[in-house]
């Protein structure tokens, strides 16, 4: 029993993300109401991102979610990423 408790303590210390997952907004322009309640990210996805597409100065589409790496923007896209929970407004304060 002591061995099991010790093993669990080691896992919690070595793998803190499995104990406290990152919390991000997970929504897009079509499911914007889901932005009202942040959700835990899947294991291994420790970055929150906000990607938007634009034409000229008009934003045509956007998505927020979790990722293992910050998505690379394509032409006409901008991405902000952060490692803080619930990076809602200003992701550029990333660690």
CA distance 90 to 10: 34
pLDDT tens-digit series, residues 3-40: 434 444 444 444 444 457 889 999 999 999 999 999 99
> What pLDDT is recorded for position 83?
87
pLDDT in tens, 37-57: 999 999 999 999 999 999 988
Query: What is the distance between the alpha carbons of residues 59 and 66, in angstroms, rounded to a whole number?
Result: 21
CA distances from 48 to 5, 31, 32, 62, 81 (A): 32, 17, 16, 14, 6
Rg, the chain, Cα only = 17
Domain boundaries along the sequence of the chain: 44-88
Mean pLDDT, all residues of the chain: 78
Rounded Cα distance, 24 and 42, in Å: 10
């Amino acid at each position: 029993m002591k061995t099991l408790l010790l093993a669990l303590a080691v896992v919690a210390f070595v793998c803190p993300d499995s104990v406290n997952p990152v919390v991000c907004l997970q929504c897009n322009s079509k499911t914007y109401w889901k932005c009202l309640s942040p959700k835990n990210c899947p294991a291994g996805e420790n970055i929150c991102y906000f990607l938007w597409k634009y034409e000229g100065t008009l934003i045509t589409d956007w998505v927020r979610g979790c990722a293992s790496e910050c998505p690379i923007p394509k032409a006409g896209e901008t991405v902000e990423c952060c490692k803080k929970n619930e990076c809602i407004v200003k992701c550029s304060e990333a660690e």
